[in-house]
């Protein structure tokens, strides 16, 4: 079976599962993302050469706490703030360090404030307001659009490297192409899903393009340091779950914050 066919079949099954669980039941969605989160944690810890059982326990407890309890607002804000600090720290290292660090001494923080909250804030989107499962699916569509067209445009027209030290195949042309098609897709989504105003969908597309790409680079940094091509092998043609979810995981926090902002200003 060709690599393209394997990627297509695996990708299609992945999309069907997410869409189905989102619309059938929030409980099913939580179960699915609990499994996804646990696998991502395992793959991430393998990249870090680090084992910590408590991170798995933390994911399950915090996931169900934030989804099924009346979260004390200062707790949510504090967790968001710590997550942002860790993610901005990861971005800082992309741009300012010549070496690609493995974050010795900070591995507990990375699991607790990178992977775990990324899954949590992703699952909180469809429970934030009624029918917001459409917003979750729309966000996934934007991620898939950005990834697909960044790859296609970059492969056919890319000449200028975006971040050669970390990801030699990514190009500036690919990034711009992915962003343009994602913005176009966001307006198309708006014509079918009016949960958010048109300008919000466009800004959401830009958030997804920028932070999704940065998330991909952050993951590439960890893989390069670990000297592996993929984070796992569970998804034929794609590698691991973390490989497939890297863009969404990194951008999910920024997406959730933006949704809170849109609700506040409207």
Mean pLDDT for the stretch of residues 3-32: 75
The rounded distance, in Å, linking the Cα atoms of 198 and 192 is 11
Give the per-residue pLDDT at 38: 92
The number of angstroms, rounded, from the C-alpha of 33 to the middle of its chain's C-alpha atoms is 12
Contact of 107 with 172, CB cutoff 8 Å: no
* Phi, psi (degrees; rounded to nearest 5) at 4: -65, -40
CA-derived radius of gyration, the chain: 18
The rounded distance, in Å, linking the Cα atoms of 73 and 75 is 5
The rounded distance, in Å, linking the Cα atoms of 216 and 38 is 19
Q: Using the predicted structure, report yes or no on whether residue 236 has a pLDDT greater than 60.
A: no
Give the per-residue pLDDT at 148: 85
Confidence of residue 26 (pLDDT cuts 50, 70, 90): confident
Confidence of residue 234 (pLDDT cuts 50, 70, 90): low
Mean pLDDT for the stretch of residues 20-31: 84
Q: Using the predicted structure, report yes or no on whether residue 52 has a pLDDT greater than 60.
A: yes
Cα(first)–Cα(last) distance of the chain, in Å?
A: 50
| Residues constituting the chain | 266
Confidence of residue 207 (pLDDT cuts 50, 70, 90): very high
Please write the tens of the pLDDT for every residue from 130-143.
Answer: 778 889 999 989 99
75's CB contacts (< 8 A; 6+ apart) are none
Give the per-residue pLDDT at 10: 65
Confidence of residue 198 (pLDDT cuts 50, 70, 90): very high
DSSP string, 122-169: HHHHHHHSTTTHHHHHHHHHHHHHHHHHHHHHHHHH--SEEETTTEEE
127's CB contacts (< 8 A; 6+ apart) are 26, 67
Contact of 237 with 63, CB cutoff 8 Å: no
Give the per-residue pLDDT at 5: 59
Write the DSSP symbol of residue 239.
B
Q: Structure pTM?
A: 0.89
Give the per-residue pLDDT at 99: 54
At residue 14's C-alpha, the angle toward residues 12 and 20, to 5°, is: 100
Please write the tens of the pLDDT for every residue from 93-129.
Answer: 887 655 555 455 677 778 888 999 999 999 888 877 7
Is residue 69 classed as helix, strand or coil in its secondary structure? coil
Please write the tens of the pLDDT for every residue from 147-173.
Answer: 888 888 988 888 888 888 788 888 999
Please write the tens of the pLDDT for every residue from 61-90.
Answer: 999 888 887 766 788 888 899 999 889 888
Number of Cβ within a 10 Å radius of residue 73: 8
Q: Using the predicted structure, report yes or no on whether residue 210 has a pLDDT greater than 60.
A: yes
Tokens 């991502």 label which residue?
40
């Amino acid at each position: 079976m060709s690599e393209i066919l394997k990627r297509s079949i695996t990708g299609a099954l992945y999309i069907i599962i997410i869409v189905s669980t989102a619309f059938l039941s929030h409980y099913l969605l939580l179960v699915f993302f609990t499994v996804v989160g646990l696998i991502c944690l395992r793959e991430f810890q393998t990249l870090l050469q680090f084992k910590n059982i408590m991170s798995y326990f933390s994911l399950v407890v915090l996931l169900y706490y934030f989804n099924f309890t009346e979260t004390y607002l200062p707790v949510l804000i504090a967790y968001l703030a710590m997550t942002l600090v860790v993610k901005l720290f990861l971005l800082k290292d992309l741009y300012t360090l010549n070496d690609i660090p493995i974050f010795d001494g900070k591995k507990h923080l990375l699991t607790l404030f990178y992977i775990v909250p990324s899954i949590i804030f992703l699952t909180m989107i469809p429970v934030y307001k009624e029918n917001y499962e459409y917003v979750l699916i729309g966000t996934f569509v934007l991620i898939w659009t950005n990834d697909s067209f960044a790859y296609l445009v970059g492969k056919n027209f890319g000449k200028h490297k975006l971040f050669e030290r970390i990801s030699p195949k990514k190009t500036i042309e690919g990034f711009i192409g992915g962003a343009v098609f994602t913005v176009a897709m966001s307006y198309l989504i708006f014509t079918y899903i009016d949960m958010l105003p048109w300008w919000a969908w466009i800004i959401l597309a830009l958030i997804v393009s920028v932070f999704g790409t940065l998330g991909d680079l952050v993951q590439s940094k960890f893989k390069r340091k670990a000297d592996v091509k993929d984070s796992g092998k569970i998804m034929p043609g794609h590698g691991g779950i973390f490989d497939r979810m890297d863009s969404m995981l990194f951008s999910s926090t920024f997406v959730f914050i933006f949704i809170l902002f849109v609700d506040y200003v409207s």
